[in-house]
A and B are shown apart, each in its own frame.
Chain A
């Protein structure tokens, strides 16, 4: 692998995770960080003297001649940091969602660049969902008829503070936070959406949505549903479950397993029920911090910088999710069905 210098912007939980991964994946690894919080900067300076720490990301980009910018800031900073990174010839990893809204995404897509980009929709790299994608691509179970999807987590059970609960900084509540993962996966597995009709409710948060129910109409004529909440009990970890009904079977897929019912035997499937656990599907990764999917998305970006291929979830792919989220919020605000407006 060629020598690549990586700078990380935003050293919260996800920034540290990607810093650790890039530090092991790239030969010159993690060389610089930009972080607004003084205490975090002092920690880095004290225990990682090998990296240069900045309080201003623009200064970092100007001085460090980085190859890759890894961006894990609050969402409202994604676009300005990406703009600055591109001005300084960096390839980009940015945590999901790509930006606050479709308008910001369109501006990013209009900017012409030959730099590689990867957006952190990590579940595309999890083996259970990859297996579901393969079954769909191979049409093993016949035609897809219906999709049910949901993502739940126990996180917000009282009024909380911070940027996530300020829609001007986060882009919204659970619809953009957890919903972005499901919408990206639905694009990956099923395809583009034609329209959405949603209802959302704030229970614990004054300013953003805690619960949402959304009816989905796909461009290929399929219908489906999406249920979201970060305020339900007994979901220790965020869990995304997608149920698909086919001509000749069903698929239920989560982070931990994929369960397939097939009317016929064929390929790796037997007639009847087939269950595959992540433990039986996943092999090692160069470094595992929080799950192999995080390493896989970062490693693919570095590979693509080397071989010229496009990463699986580049800006063009990830922007689609923001376009759908815009339509959902438009629908929840007006009570009307809204068409999804893709594209620049």
Chain B
């Protein structure tokens, strides 16, 4: 089982409580503290890490590049949904869409502005959205990014609304233009599997919650287990330990019971915890 270091703890997210999230937010507001944990992860054998296009993760990557005492590859999750939600809360959907179009149209270089104006005129909003993503991803592209993951909030909304053309467009853009693997994160694995088969789409992997308690496994743990066993593609397990609420040994055994789960995202904040995770999951 290949372990991928999760990033939630570094940006103040905790499944246990918001209080714990705030403690982590405080600790990891200093990027050298993130670096120390990632370095410790590297020392015990982690080779990959998930990051979001969160400003702090960019700051960490810049620190990592300067210090460079180890090598790490990155799975980049997009978009940075929290920022999108905040903009929508403040300015409404209309304000958010206007900002997306303006930024994609005017902030780009190398013909992006002209291209975006053209896309707007022919109502190719997917092309505009991809231009916006391109801007969001740009600062991260100089680092060793190996795959792009579509955030579960966007994957699940588009899957629920059955907007198949969005996935074909993302897939083509990430594979052909960015030359990266394209993956989907989802909390609705059974639905995603059904739609991918129906739409004949084959992402490089699907990242989804896999845990002993069935948390975030929808529509039910049993249905997801069946769908996972039938699925012919690669699966990356996430939400494996429920932020520390699930027992470690049983969680590892559960994840390992699926043949097509070859990678697993695990979060940790200390050297000791990283070693323990490596011992139990590897």
Contact = CB atoms under 8 A, between A and B. Distances in A.
Contacts of A225: none
Contacts of A282: 215
Contacts of B275: none
Interface in A5-29: 11-13, 16-17, 19-21, 23-24
Contacts of A221: none
A2 interface: no
Contact of B191 (A13, A236, A287): A287
A236 B82 CA distance: 9
Contact of A16 (B12, B25, B90, B157): B157
Interface string A276-294: 0111101111111110100
B214 A283 contact: yes
Nearest to A155: B89
B160 A11 contact: no
B242 interface: yes
A256 B18 CA distance: 8
Interface in B211-238: 211, 213-221, 223-224
B126 interface: yes
A40 B123 CA distance: 11
Contacts of B187: 288
B161 interface: yes
Interface residues of A, number: 48
B213 A280 contact: yes
Contacts of B52: none
B243 interface: yes
A279 B246 contact: yes
A24 B17 contact: no
A257 to B, nearest CB: 6
Interface stretch (A41-49, A62-70, A314-322): A41-49
Contact of A287 (B17, B218, B224): B218
Interface in B57-85: 82, 85
A257 B18 CA distance: 10
Interface in A253-290: 254, 256-257, 277-280, 282-290
Contact of B94 (A40, A279, A286): A40
A30 B162 CA distance: 11
A37 B101 CA distance: 15
Given A234-B25, A277-B15, A284 B93 contact: no
Contacts of A46: 123, 125
A257 B123 contact: no
Contacts of B13: 236
Nearest to B216: A288
Interface of B, secondary structure class, is: helix
B95 interface: yes
Interface string B141-169: 00000000000010011001111011000
A89 interface: no
Given A17-B157, A43-B125, A287-B219, A254 B88 contact: no
Nearest to A161: B91
B85 A239 contact: no
A279 B93 contact: no
Interface in A160-212: 160-163
A50 interface: yes
A111 interface: no
Nearest to A43: B125
Interface in B171-214: 187-188, 191, 211, 213-214
A237 interface: yes
Contacts, number: 132
A20, A23, A160 interface centre (most CB from chain B within 10 Å): A20
B86 interface: yes
A279 B161 contact: no
A23 B97 contact: no
Contacts of B91: 160-162
Given A12-B93, A50-B162, A280-B213, A285 B219 contact: yes
B17 A256 contact: yes
Given A13-B85, A284-B214, A40 B220 contact: no
A235 B12 CA distance: 10
Given A47-B165, A288-B188, A23 B160 contact: yes
B138 interface: no
B98 interface: yes
Interface string A69-91: 00000000000000000000000
B60 to A, nearest CB: 18
A11 B93 contact: yes
Contact of B245 (A21, A277, A286): A277
A37 B188 contact: no
B21 interface: yes
B245 A280 contact: yes
B218 A288 contact: yes
B22 interface: yes
A274 to B, nearest CB: 14
A338 B98 CA distance: 44
B17, B160, B187, B213 interface centre (most CB from chain A within 10 Å): B160
Contacts of A257: 16-17
Nearest to A17: B157
B171 to A, nearest CB: 15
Given A16-B157, A46-B123, A163 B92 contact: yes
B216 A40 contact: no
B13, B165, B166, B187 interface centre (most CB from chain A within 10 Å): B187
Given A30-B161, A277-B16, A289-B156, 10 more contacts: A12-B88, A20-B157, A39-B98, A155-B86, A236-B13, A257-B16, A279-B246, A282-B215, A284-B219, A284-B224
11 contacts: A12-B93, A39-B97, A155-B89, A160-B90, A236-B12, A256-B15, A277-B243, A280-B215, A283-B221, A287-B188, A290-B153
